[in-house]
Structure 1
């Protein structure tokens, strides 16, 4: 019996130590788990964006973020696009090509720490870069609509809560980054560990712009319930589009741009 107790005690000690090591690793390397900062900045010459220009936008602390910009056609708004959590914004150039083909302008950019913009990736820097990008775009004098995809739903909602735009489109959003982490790492106290929590569920309550949320039922990166919760909290909801069988990266191919154009047209009509 004593030997059994010693074995059980030893196993318990090993389990506690192992759990502590996991906690320590998650805390120290949490941003390596949270952000995908690989890839490269595409050249505009690799796209069909013949009229777009690469721009450098001053941000907080003397930093600079890199983006692409094109003015809209007359009567169309400028889309400020908050990219998701994978490589560089420039890899999504087909989206920007579709925007300009239909007369929309756009500004898309890399947050600090991603391929186009030097610096450290943190929630504070991402939010500051989002505000800097919006203010830079607003100075151009065009109507502005916001588009936040995945990770970008955080800064897009934050900016909408502090600035005046005509619309906020959220593609596969989360209600908070810590909630997403809790879905995956249910066995860890992620609320205590995470530095970058992006409380969209708090920011959305201060958003006066009309809101469209698009999400797929087969999204395994950010579950569809996150989008549903965000939409339920929006003070000015316009549309909740739940696409059956769509995964995290499927919404564009499932017709998101057509939905977006209708939404933006409604929002612009209401803003006049």
Structure 2
């Protein structure tokens, strides 16, 4: 291959590299977030008791919260559940019995553009709304009765809240080091730290959390690789836990006996 052909191929490769990079930057919100909105008149058909609360964040912004209740006459506490990047509360409601059967209420909110919640979806708004949910919980519960639970994308949001507010426990399911690192693990040839607008640095927030922390992650997670979550281990306190679910993937951890046993222990103590 002569020099001219080499140069021509280098130009083609550079052009392809730039096109893909521009596409990643421009489509990053679509790549990372898959919300499903529903009409405000939509009636959820959950199989467990619940209350629906709509918080008027501003004149044209609504925060939709579903409060799953327990059959206990006096709830042991409340779990503030921050869900993942897909669909809306209806997709995650199936996980509520994990908590309600041990005497906890479970409060889930939908992020802007998810479910019945409206508004502009930004990292700052995720933190603001999480804090608002915490303040709502504090009207009925003391900090030692509040458990923060983050699932996938919600794990970084829960960690940020745990860094600025007291709670009984912080539990993270399939968490990540930070957002750019997730895409970097798939496409390492791009400077994702500069390209990705959402950062949500879980590793940074964990350093400020004083409550006990428990992390669940599966070795076969194809969405957030196990090695990515393992980078959080150096930021855990001596009594914190990193619980490895062998062969667990991104969406099936609650089905494993180890997860069920550990969760029952965490919520009953």
TM-score, normalised to structure 2, is: 0.89
Deviations 1:177-236 (A, max 9, x none): 111111011121101101101111111000001011111111111112233332431236
Q: 1:41 to 1:208 in 2, by over 3 A?
A: farther
CA shift, 1:162, in A, is 0.5
Q: 1:8 to 1:228 in 2, by over 3 A?
A: closer
CA shift, 1:78, in A, is 0.4
Select which of 12, 16, 19 maps to 1:18: 16
Where does structure 2 lack aligned partners over 5 or more consecutive residues?
none
User: How big is the alpha-carbon RMSD for the aligned residues of Structure 1 and Structure 2?
Assistant: 2.3
Distance 1:11 1:259 in 2: 55
TM-score, normalised to structure 1, is: 0.88
What residue number does 1:123 align with? 123
Query: 1:65-214, aligned counterparts within 5 Å?
Result: 65-71=63-69, 73=72, 74=74, 76-142=76-142, 143-214=145-216
CA shift, 1:264, in A, is 2.7
CA shift, 1:39, in A, is 6.5
Distance 1:168 1:241 in 2: 13
- Matched residues, number: 263
Where does structure 1 lack aligned partners over 5 or more consecutive residues?
267-272
Select which of 241, 254, 260 maps to 1:252: 254
1:224 lines up with 2:222 in the alignment? no
Distance 2:250 2:205 in 1: 22
SS of the residue 1:208 aligns to: coil
SS of the residue 2:232 aligns to: helix
What residue number does 2:45 align with? 46
CA shift, 1:127, in A, is 1.6
Q: 1:58 to 1:226 in 2, by over 3 A?
A: farther
